[in-house]
Structure 1
Amino acid sequence: MRGAQEALERYGLTETSDGFALTLKGFQRASRRALDLRKQGDPEAIRVLALPPDDPLRWEYARCLQIDSFVSEVHHSEI
């Protein structure tokens, strides 16, 4: 369980009763990943990055990116 908690912190996520919440650190990390995706021509990243940083949709996109990365790491490392 310790490994999973460390991974959550690394991705800027916290567990809530409804699932996962994104921290500011997680938003910043996801924003950097979205920039990379935009450079690769990802249409969703292009649309979302055109939104203001405080737009709830941009935060939800960032949260989804971080959850995806977290789940992938947990799955591959079998934490």
Structure 2
Amino acid sequence: MNPEARQEALRRHGLTETQDGFELTAEGFQRASRRARDLRQQGDPEAVRMMALSPEDPDRWEYCRCLQIEAFTAEERASGF
């Protein structure tokens, strides 16, 4: 994955890269929340617990950030990077 494609993938997943790691954008939070709803419907206990939290709760944001990092990493691996 070249640098431009990597930046596009980060944007698509709603992530920005900082010195300290990845930060989640509001768009990324929305995407991850949709994914978490799907996981909740499949009976994932962590998704059930996290989706019960308020959207402003930092734990829910962290859960969503992890979901997006996981999705980004899977895409990056699939690209052969």
TM-score (normalizing by structure 1): 0.98
Q: What is the SS of the residue equivalent to 2:27?
A: helix
Shift of 1:77: 1.1
Q: What's the C-alpha RMSD, in Å, of the aligned pairs?
A: 0.6
Q: Aligned residue for 2:45?
A: 43
| Whole-angstrom distance in 2 between the partners of 1:16 and 1:22 | 11
Q: Which amino acid aligns with 1:44?
A: E
Residues 14-60 of structure 1: CA deviation (Å, up to 9, x unaligned): 00110000000000000000000000000000000000000000000
Q: Aligned residue for 2:56?
A: 54
Paired residue total: 79
Q: Aligned residue for 1:78?
A: 80
Q: Please list every run of 5 or more consecutive structure 2 residues that lacks an aligned counterpart in the other structure.
A: none
Q: Which amino acid aligns with 1:53?
A: P
1:69 aligns with 2:75: no
Q: Which amino acid aligns with 1:56?
A: P
Q: What is the SS of the residue equivalent to 1:52?
A: coil
Q: Runs (4+) of structure 1 moved beyond 4 Å?
A: none
| Whole-angstrom distance in 2 between the partners of 1:56 and 1:70 | 21
Q: Please list every run of 5 or more consecutive structure 1 residues that lacks an aligned counterpart in the other structure.
A: none
Question: Aligned match of 2:11 in 9, 12, 19?
Answer: 9
